[in-house]
Amino acid sequence: MRVAHGNTEISVVDNIISCACIGSFNLEGVYLYIDEIKSIISSLKEKEFAMIIDNTKFVGCTPDAFEEMEVYSTWLCKTKLKAKAFVIKSQVNKNIILHRTPSLSSQNIAFFSHYSEAHAWVKKFL
């Protein structure tokens, strides 16, 4: 059994799921993240929601972890997600995210440098 790498801090306020992704993620770490997010979405009982993904402390993912993130992102397209904002520090991070998860093109997404900007943007959709 492999140990999960990568940490998340997840909270929900007013149907906005905020998640800080910290460190480098392997497949097991991504599974833990996905399970927690799916549980939260299920608890919202089919209500519309938005997400803020804070990747300012995100280092990366293993290739198999990115593959699983694409499966999850495709599933997310079938939920009541209205908007997803990413908070990032670099253009490189944005390019990797977009390249490795092409299903994001089917979601209403935006990238920001500051959490407050991301929060103001997603609130417009709820």
97: DSSP letter: H
Q: Which residues of 14-43 are buried (b: 16+ CB within 10 A; e: fewer)?
A: eebbbbbbbeebbbbbbeebbeebeebbee
Start-to-end C-alpha separation, the chain: 41
pLDDT at 116: 98
Q: What angle do CA 13, 109, 56 make, to 5 degrees?
A: 70
Ramachandran bin of 119, using left for φ above 0, alpha for ψ from -120 to 50, beta for the remaining angles = alpha
Place of tokens 């089919």: 46
pLDDT at 1: 61
State the Cα–Cα distance between residues 92 and 90, nearest whole angstrom: 5
Rounded to two decimals, the pTM is: 0.95
State the Cα–Cα distance between residues 55 and 89, nearest whole angstrom: 8
pLDDT at 74: 97
State the Cα–Cα distance between residues 5 and 30, nearest whole angstrom: 8
pLDDT at 59: 92
- Mind listing the pLDDT tens digit of every residue in the chain (126 residues)? 679 999 999 999 999 999 999 999 999 999 999 999 999 999 999 999 999 999 999 999 999 999 999 999 999 999 999 999 999 999 998 999 999 999 999 999 999 999 999 999 999 999
pLDDT at 58: 94
